[in-house]
Structure 1
Amino acid sequence: MSTGETARIALRSLVANKLRSLLTALGIIIGVAAVVALMAIGQGSQASITSTITANGANLLTVRSGSSNSGGVGGGVGSSQTLTTEDAEALADTNNVPDASLVSPEYNGNGQLVAGSLNTSAQIVGATPSYLEVHNASIATGDFITNENESSRASVVVLGANVATTLFPDGDAVGQSIRISGLKFTVVGVLASKGGSGFGSTDDGVIVPLSTAQRTLFGGRAISGGSALVSSIAIQAKDSESVDAALSEIQQTLRTQHNLAEDGSADDFSVINQQDQLDSLTSTTRTLTLFLGAIAAISLLVGGIGIMNIMLVSVRERTREIGLRKALGAREADILKQFMLEALTISLVGALIGLTAGLLIAFGVNISGLISAVPSASSALMAVGFAVAVGLGFGIAPARSAARLDPIDALRYE
């Protein structure tokens, strides 16, 4: 019997039992949909993290108070502040750090912002004019902090895109007045949106002159022993090849500044390489994505077991049909081929339906705006391929059982 004729018999059998065929494929449908959707969400999270970190600036090194050995990345909340504006000035000296192109000292805090009847809480960053270029930010409307603002401790503020939308929904923020922790500030500009959140995103924060943050907004905390403290210092290396050299120069300069160079004391600061941070987070999200995909793939195995069980029942129900076909000349290979084609058809159709469902779920997740989902051709092909392989693998036992039936015993079966 030709393969084409065997295929037609297999398809007629499946069509004649539509509900059973659909229920048999249900496990495959759910499994493939789960794999595609979860892999898309994992890859979307990875892409979002990568985009947000790289948007903060190229070839970026960040110095924070506290040793990375004792305080984690950047020392963490509660670490004593050991960095000052004098440290930033030393790092900006090309004699000390010749491989750095720009230095941005920053003081971070939080405060309540009020504009008329509207209010919101936001991160407040005290910064100098170099902040804009170091962090690859740009102005949407108005101006950024100027050297004159910095030297005069001006009460001016630049709003992040989301903050501007919250406080001034009509869109005319520049020139307006707001209150930050009870103090009056004039809005001089609004930053262009970068998208994303966390990892230093500027959309949900505001920027004031560094001197204003240190001496006016956070004076009690930002001044120690006559020195103005900074929360962090962002340094942009000249190029990607200069990052390692700049990191070494930064460490040596700060050890000298903090009188640590001669006595061998541990660093009281940590230098974070943006690329190392990105690699670490990417590795973590990749592992999580694969873990989610592996969990979802278990449902494909369950679907394969369902195919095997339903087809074993089908063999039992069709014993007389199989006996009649064999009595009329069908070979064991023909019966084996028929049931394997049925298993292949069920798993393939189920995989395609599941793929469509998974892509729709990913699309719905993107529409919701809660998280990002990025479907990929590789994960889709992997899910469909694995589903077909599972269907064929679990279809072997029922197919062999059918092929080995004795035609005489099969025809006597009631």
Structure 2
Amino acid sequence: MRGRDLVGSAVTSTLRGRIRTVLTVVAVFIGACALTLTSGMGTGVNRYIDVTVATFGDASALYVQKSQPLIELSAGSGPQKYDPDSTQIATGFGVSFVGLSDQDVATIEGIDGVGEVAPVYNVVPTYLQAGQERFQLTLGIPVDSEGVQMASGSVAAEGADELAIPDTWVTDLGFGSPQEAVGATVQIVMTNKAGQQQEFDARVSGVTQASLAGVSRNPIPSTSFNERLYAYQVSGSPEEIPASYIMARAIMDDAGRAGPIQAQLEEAGMIGLTVEDQLGMFRTVINAIIWILNACAIIALIAAGLGIVNTLLMSVQERTREIGLMKAMGMSGPKVFGLFSLEAVFIGLLGAVLGAATGVAAGTYLTQVLAEGFLAGLPGLSLFTFQAPRIALIVAAVLTIAFAAGTIPAVRAARKDPITALRHE
């Protein structure tokens, strides 16, 4: 019997017990479909994280803060000893934290492997005014990355009194669209240490879109505008107020040396995080969920493999005389083994192809639905992203499991004695 005949005979034999075969194929289908969906989810989410890391900031940037930022509560805790060398920054929520001082900035600059260091002032505006409406305002950390996801316009230009607003703010500020907001002027009102207020005109440079890094939750000013607002914020005091920074952005000469630099920062009482570090926990959680779902899918495939074993063992039992006749007519044991192995592979192929195709179709549909609904706040996120090599690998893995499952029945069929088999009732 030639190879083509073996394949044809295997397909025909598989279709004899249709109900049994269909149930086994369904089990394989479920496992293959689940693996396809979890693989697509892992690819889609991790690709979005990679894009976020690449666009949010320079991969060689470290964002440095004090190691233990929270130091006191305005109520409910005992008094803290005064430290004239510390720089405390009030958040406005009854909590203060230690900011970076000029000495800390100098320490960062002195670390081998660190180039430019840009400290970030903590600015607390009184309110933002657009037209006749007033809004509470918390400013985001100034960024200069051109890769920040924008709905319109660009990030605030250095040297200009500009800020970029989130896309969720457009309607509330009275603009009809992100395009209409770009170029408009809003007012930021600041209160200094003497209780005096001053209005600063700010041009809207662009409208940002949401991302996992949270870059667009608050309006983002240019660095120079942020410093100008801070200068007024600390003015009016009879005594000079020491400079304090909420954080500092340090550019490394080589991103590969982040570990040693972070270790030196820890020794100096500071902590430095890259964007990848900040998103690392999210990536870890997602990957853990994906692995758990993959484990469930693999368990389903193992159960399907047991179904294949059961289906083919019953087939061998029912076709004992047929096997004896084939061997009596000169069919060798290896060919009998090949025949039953092909039946197992055919069952696996049906389940794998149907499961993978259904998984891709379902994932593509869900991606479109979620992008317009639940995940609308994260534009650019394709929850399920499918890659042909991975789909092919899943199908190959399922076929391998099917072949392995069919080995036991195939060996049993190949070893049957033709005389004993022909006498079987």
Partner of 2:204: helix, strand, or coil? strand
3-state DSSP class of the match of 2:122?
strand
Q: Does 1:206 align with 2:206?
A: no
2:213 and 2:360 map into 1 onto residues whose CA distance is 29
Q: What residue in structure 1 maps to residue 115 of structure 2?
A: 100
How far did residue 226 of structure 1 move? 3.5
CA distance in 1, matches of 2:262, 2:121: 18
Which runs of structure 2 are paired with 1:142-153 in the superposition (5 Å)?
144=156, 147=159, 149=161
**Partner secondary structure for residue 391 of structure 1:** helix
Pick one of 385, 394, 398 that aligns with 1:374.
385
Q: Which runs of 5+ in 1 are unaligned?
A: 71-76, 150-155, 253-265
Q: Is the 8 A contact 2:55 2:149 kept in 1?
A: no
Per-residue CA shift, 1:225-260, capped at 9, x if unaligned?
9446443222334564786787689x49xxxxxxxx
1:37 to partner: Cα distance: 1.5
2:153 maps to amino acid:
T
Please give the per-residue CA displacement for 1:248-297, whole angstroms capped at 9, x wherever unaligned.
89x49xxxxxxxxxxxxx64432224465567766665565445433322
Distance 2:55 2:102 in 1: 28
- Aligned ranges for residues 31-70 of structure 1 at < 5 Å? 31-58=31-58, 59-67=60-68
Q: Partners in 1 of 2:335 and 2:123 — Cα distance?
A: 75
CA contact (8 A) 1:102 1:237 kept: no
**Residue 180 of structure 2: aligned partner:** 172
Counterpart CA distance in 2 for 1:90 and 1:112 is 33
Q: Which residue of 2 aligns with 1:83?
A: 99
Post-superposition offset of 1:103 = 1.1
Post-superposition shift, 1:106? 4.5
Q: Relative to 1, partners in 2 of residues 1:282 and 1:186: Cα closer, same or farther, differing over 3 Å? A: same
Q: Are the equivalent residues in 1 in contact too, given 2:262–2:271 (CA < 8 A)? A: no
Q: Is the contact made by 1:344 and 1:392 (CA closer than 8 Å) also made in structure 2?
A: yes
TM-score, normalization: structure 1? 0.70
| Segment of structure 1 superposing worse, 156-165 or 275-284 | 275-284
* Cα distance, 1:382 vs structure 2: 3.0
Q: CA RMSD in A?
A: 4.7
Q: What secondary structure, in the 3-state scheme, does the structure 1 residue paired with 2:220 have? A: strand
One of 375, 387, 403 as aligned partner of 2:398: 387
In structure 1, the residue corresponding to 2:250 is in which secondary structure?
strand
1:235 to 250, 261, 282: 250
Distance across 1 between alignment mates of 2:393 and 2:103: 52
Shift of the 283–158 alpha-carbon distance from structure 1 to 2, 3 Å rule, reads closer
Question: Where in structure 2 are the equivalents of 1:204-353 lying within 5 Å?
Answer: 204-208=217-221, 209-210=225-226, 226-227=241-242, 229-237=244-252, 240=255, 251=265, 267-274=268-275, 289-353=290-354
Q: CA deviation at 1:179?
A: 8.8
> 1:386, CA displacement in angstroms?
1.9
**Alpha-carbon distance change, 326 to 268 in structure 1, aligned in 2, over 3 angstroms:** closer
Partner amino acid, structure 2, of 1:32: A
Counterparts in 2 of 1:242 and 1:313: CA distance versus 1, 3 Å: closer
Question: In 1, distance between residues paired with 2:212 and 2:244?
Answer: 23
CA distance in 2, matches of 1:120, 1:349: 60
CA distance in 2, matches of 1:362, 1:119: 43
Query: Structure 1 residue 311: deviation in Å?
Result: 1.7
Q: Is the 8 A contact 1:66 1:81 kept in 2?
A: no
Contact 2:28 2:300 in 1 (8 A): yes
Aligned counterparts of 1:42 and 1:78: Cα–Cα separation in 2: 40
Cα deviation, residue 302, structure 1: 1.1
Q: Distance in 2 between matches of 1:211 and 1:54?
A: 26
Report the identity percentage. 23
Counterparts in 2 of 1:198 and 1:11: CA distance versus 1, 3 Å: closer
Residues 39-66 of structure 1, C-alpha deviation per residue, up to 9 Å, x if partnerless? 2212322222222123222111111233
Residue 166 of structure 2 is matched in structure 1 by 160
Q: Matched residue pairs, number?
A: 375
Aligned to 2:6: 6
Task: Measure, in 2, the Cα distance between the counterparts of 1:294 and 1:285.
Answer: 14
TM-superposed deviation, 1:135: 7.5
